[in-house]
Structure 1
Amino acid sequence: MSEETKKTEEQVAATEVQETAIPAVDPKQFLADFNWHKYEQGIEAVDEEKLQHFEKALEGTVGFVNERDVIEGTVIRITDRDAIIDINSKSEGVISLNEFRYNQGLKEGDTVEVLVDKREDSSGQLVLSHKKARVIKAWERVNNAHETGEVVNGFVKCRTRGGMIVDVFGIEAFLPGSQIDVKPIRDYDQYVEKTMEFKVVKINHEFKNVVVSHKALIEADIELQKKEIIGQLEKGQVLEGIVKNITSYGVFVDLGGVDGLVHITDLSWSRINHPNEVVELDQKLNVVILDFDDNKSRIQLGLKQLSAHPWEALNDTLKVGDKVTGDVVVIADYGAFVEVEQGVEGLIHVSEMSWSTHLRSAQDFVKVGDKVEAQVLTLDRDDRKMSLGIKQLHPDPWTDIT
């Protein structure tokens, strides 16, 4: 092959490469020359490869946005029905004012979040949505709060079956009745239309359900208070508490995160049948710490110990042989206990009830609630014991026989 022939073939090959190479696309020129009407009507086919090159050429340029992007835009004009939003693209977007009903103070110059629904609709208009952007951002914030344990504010909208509906970032979340407070709730309506703090405890992404809890925050605070209180507990310490629960055997008192029990026998110096005779739910009262276990998880409290023992206030002039009047408070087979003063009881043994030698049960002589008169037979102020007798108020019939 001659040198001249070789050069000719190389020139032909270079020409073919130039003809097959795709020229660089100028986005502005492409838009200026492109017939959008024919393309939308399917009249003029467009080389897909050229379109791809065009898309790549647009990327990174000012004003290029992707559909489904959530970006910030500026309100440049407000009409009677719409807000015109500039996102620094080739055209502005129009959003109905209905999507801004929560923001009655919307004005020109405000920055708002919008979702790019479509870069262009059939008429070439940029389609934006503020409502959809808020929903997406709201779910992002809710998911983040769930993952990080962040405390969120929510507005209690209304009651529903089993709990309440709470608005969190524009999303309706469910607040179970059991997650409102650590205490039983008697009036749910007191929480309606209130803004409260919550913790997102559960998200069901399939059904788009969110569950929040206010109780979780209270429990966290209580746990901190509990550690602080337990570390300072001492026997004989007097604390203020609130009656949390009343049972037949005693009263549970909330000491600010730690519960203690006042046994029924430590409520009053007098005998009582039920704790509700002395206290009521939610009542504030002072109690004294009587005892607690090694872990301080069981705390025994006392209420009556804060007042003087009734025996200490017993009349100094009372002596053996004096007559007293009182109410029968307890009956046993061997006798009856009579309360002669509040908290001061004396025992009438069944043998001291009648001169009869045919001794029977005390129930044959008196019943609970009877008011009786008796004579003081013995009196021991140190041991706080008193014995009484009824028959001593009447002459001994056997003396007449002798």
Structure 2
Amino acid sequence: MTGGPAENPELWAFLESLHRGEVLSGTVAAIERFGVFVALDDGPGHPVFPGVGFISFAELSWRSFEAATDVVQVGQRVSCEFLQFDTWNLEARLSLKATQPDPFQGFADTIAVGQRLPGQVTKLIPFGVFVQVADGIEGLVHLRELAWTPVDTPADVVRVGEEITVVVTEIDRERRRLSLSRRRSSSTRV
């Protein structure tokens, strides 16, 4: 804990004055293994951290990424949406992705259940495979939807990088999930 109102009155007052949804600008001050610190243009500095603003990895981007440096760099200017005042760490929790359109929602507007889509297998997991059907948009083909005959493991029928045709079986806008079927994309049994 970094102290309450008595120890940092100026910083406390600044953070209390912020409202959810307000856009704050600043500079990426540090990238740590747990998130990104932002030195805000307005308000006082932080007594301990490299910046008063903090972006968790979940709030960096709508798209999946390997490292925070795939999204931001130290010294980069950013505009973020204020989420909440973290009174324990005395910081402004921020979202970079909230200032950008969600590509999933835009994609969901253009497709329908039953539609056939070309895609590329990106990952094999025990209960199915992930297939990229558009830039930054992946859906899950469950094991039972991979082929007409029972499949023990996804590697029995597909490999990473393989181009396949899938059918949209469910679009869950709230959870940002796309369910797909390879089995239903073909009238012939595979």
- Rounded to whole Å, the distance in 2 between the matches of 1:392 and 1:288 is 42
Residues 113-128 of structure 1: pairs in structure 2 closer than 5 A: none
Q: Is 1:305 equivalent to 2:98 in the alignment?
A: yes
Contact kept in structure 2, 1:270 and 1:342, CA below 8 Å: no
Q: Normalised by the size of structure 1, how large is the TM-score?
A: 0.39
TM-superposed CA distance for 1:350, in Å, is: 1.1
TM-superposed CA distance for 1:285, in Å, is: 0.7
- Rounded to whole Å, the distance in 1 between the matches of 2:107 and 2:160 is 23
Identify unmatched segments of 5+ residues in structure 1: 1-222
Residues 351 and 342 (structure 1), Cα distance of their counterparts in 2 relative to 1, 3 Å cut: same
Residues 393 and 361 (structure 1), Cα distance of their counterparts in 2 relative to 1, 3 Å cut: same
Q: Is 1:385 equivalent to 2:177 in the alignment?
A: yes
Count of residues paired in the alignment: 175
Contact kept in structure 1, 2:114 and 2:169, CA below 8 Å: yes
Contact kept in structure 1, 2:82 and 2:93, CA below 8 Å: yes
| 2:40 alignment partner AA | L
Please list the CA deviations of residues 368-390 of structure 1 after superposition, one character each: whole Å capped at 9, or x if unmatched: 55443311122344554321111
| 1:240 alignment partner AA | S
Residues 314 and 385 (structure 1), Cα distance of their counterparts in 2 relative to 1, 3 Å cut: same
Contact kept in structure 2, 1:271 and 1:329, CA below 8 Å: no
Q: Is 1:320 equivalent to 2:113 in the alignment?
A: yes
Residues 347 and 235 (structure 1), Cα distance of their counterparts in 2 relative to 1, 3 Å cut: same
Which residue of the partner structure matches residue 129 of structure 2? 336
TM-superposed CA distance for 1:275, in Å, is: 1.0
**Structure with the largest fraction of helix:** 1
Which residue of the partner structure matches residue 73 of structure 1? none
Identify unmatched segments of 5+ residues in structure 2: 1-7
Computed over aligned residues only, the root mean square deviation of the Cα atoms, in angstroms, reads 2.8
TM-superposed CA distance for 1:303, in Å, is: 0.7
Which residue of the partner structure matches residue 5 of structure 2? none
| 1:355 alignment partner AA | W
Q: Is 1:242 equivalent to 2:27 in the alignment?
A: yes
| 2:138 alignment partner AA | E
Which residue of the partner structure matches residue 291 of structure 1? 84
- Rounded to whole Å, the distance in 2 between the matches of 1:261 and 1:315 is 30
Q: Normalised by the size of structure 2, how large is the TM-score?
A: 0.75
- Rounded to whole Å, the distance in 1 between the matches of 2:36 and 2:155 is 32
Residues 221-232 of structure 1: pairs in structure 2 closer than 5 A: 226=11, 229-232=14-17
TM-superposed CA distance for 1:305, in Å, is: 0.8
Looking at CA atoms only, which structure, 1 or 2, has the larger radius of gyration? 1
Please list the CA deviations of residues 19-49 of structure 1 after superposition, one character each: whole Å capped at 9, or x if unmatched: xxxxxxxxxxxxxxxxxxxxxxxxxxxxxxx
